[in-house]
Amino acid sequence: MKKIYLLALLLITAAVLVMAVGFSMNQSAPSLKQKHVAFYVTDDTGVFFMQLKRGVEDAALDMGAKCTLEVVAPNETPPENGYEGAVVFSQDAFEMKIPQVFIGKAIPGLRCVTAGEASGPIAAGEDLDKYIALLENGDIEGFFAMDPYAMGYRALEALVTGDAGTVVPLTYITLDNLYAKETIKLVFPLLQ
């Protein structure tokens, strides 16, 4: 009988120790609050936007952030709705109190993700078909393709990490690499 009480006391003591260690580990671990950010756009249509949106969404997923798409009218300041930051794809910069990263063009004083410089035509989204036809007909030697997916991904990444914006390099497309594995996603985004 004494052995049963001793065993029960030992098991209860072990259980209390396991619970105490478990609770102290949970208290010492930093709390990871999911950052809620907005993706403000003035136009949510088109191939370019679809790739951009996919990049923003994938970055949010990879970085543990929640991202909400908000379509706003041009020249209208979007509501901040308790967001902790915003990725903005618009022709206009917005005056907001929350951190923002602007996609598309460099704006002094703002973190921006832009496409690289080019010494020839630049194509993305709906313009791709026109430049592909010109290339295949021999009317041009090549064109520079933007990477909207990378622009969206890097914009959200910069917002969440607090990094400065960046320039996403352009890819020069010629007949030699038009159908290459490395460029097919840029040139034919709807095949993905």
For 116-160, write each residue's pLDDT tens digit.
888 888 888 778 889 999 999 999 999 999 899 999 999 999 988
Residue tagged 């622009």 (tokens): 151
Burial degree of 191 (CB within 10 A; 0-12, 13-18, 19+): exposed
Average pLDDT of the segment spanning 51-77: 89
pLDDT at 54: 92
Q: Are strands 166-168 and 111-115 parallel, antiparallel or unpaired?
A: parallel
Asked if residue 67 lies in contact with residue 58, where contact means CB atoms within 8 angstroms, the answer is no
| % of the chain at pLDDT higher than 90 | 24
| Residue 187: both structure tokens together | 């040139």
pTM of the model: 0.75
pLDDT at 32: 40
- Report the C-alpha gap between 10 and 92 in whole angstroms: 69
pLDDT at 181: 87
Average pLDDT of the segment spanning 157-183: 88
Asked if residue 39 lies in contact with residue 159, where contact means CB atoms within 8 angstroms, the answer is no
Q: CA 90: distance to chain centroid?
A: 16
For residue 44, pLDDT over 60 is answered with yes
pLDDT at 93: 67
Asked if residue 51 lies in contact with residue 100, where contact means CB atoms within 8 angstroms, the answer is no
